[in-house]
Amino acid sequence: KPGERVTGYKLEMAPRVVISGRVLDENGEPMPGVGVLARRVPQPVPTHSAPMAWGSTDDRGMFRLAVPPERYNLIASVQSNPSEGPEIRTDGSVDSQYLPTYYPSTLSRESAAIVEARPGADVNGIDIRPVHSAMLHISGAVSGIPACAGEVGILLSRKTEYNQRAAPAGPDGKFSFANV
């Protein structure tokens, strides 16, 4: 209250925990510049204050995240440009890319390992090996668009994730998603 003096109040703070490890390719080589996200388990309702940390691997494929004591899923995400067209290969092989991968090496949050970050106990030796997969290209056409509809767009989203992509349908109703 105004003018009241509070004494003897004790506020205890939990120390941050450091989670560190490496991101390695299929040959065990370090992968620099890979984004690594620590997402709290269970995932709270999305808010701007949800405990999580994000970092990037260094030139030796190492990452280091300082987080509050919690339970986390770790996700490695190799950045690529989804708007780029398919790679044309002379040997007939299929274009492939690294997909966002949960620790230790799975595409599914349900089968991901949970990292326990306990107060005063850093977690070391986490190795994440991103999953490499063939990429698909999805295209089609929207029919029956009324002349007064204006711009029409198609939304592509994964059932289990928050990420989404949008593509406008052209005047002829055609749309395309590259590198899905």
Q: Which residues, in sequence order, are CB contacts of 16 under 8 Å at separation 6+?
A: 66, 67, 68
What are the structure tokens assigned to 131, written together? 């999953």
What are the structure tokens assigned to 61, written together? 């494929």
On the question of pLDDT at 116 being above 90, the answer is: yes
Count of beta carbons in the 10 Å neighbourhood of residue 177: 17
105-115: per-residue pLDDT in tens? Answer: 998 888 999 99
| Cβ–Cβ under 8 Å, residues 65 and 20 | yes
**pLDDT of res. 2:** 92
| Cβ–Cβ under 8 Å, residues 64 and 57 | no
**Rounded to an integer, what distance in angstroms lies between the CA atom of residue 104 and that of residue 43?**
18
On the question of pLDDT at 78 being above 60, the answer is: yes
Q: Return the CA Rg of the chain.
A: 22
- Helix ranges (H only) for the chain are none
Q: Quick one: residue 125, left, alpha or beta (phi over 0 = left, psi -120 to 50 = alpha)?
A: left
On the question of pLDDT at 49 being above 70, the answer is: no
Mean pLDDT of the chain: 83
**pLDDT of res. 84:** 53
**Rounded to an integer, what distance in angstroms lies between the CA atom of residue 151 and that of residue 26?**
43
What one-letter code names the amino acid at 72? Y
Q: Report the chain's terminal Cα–Cα distance, integer Å.
A: 58
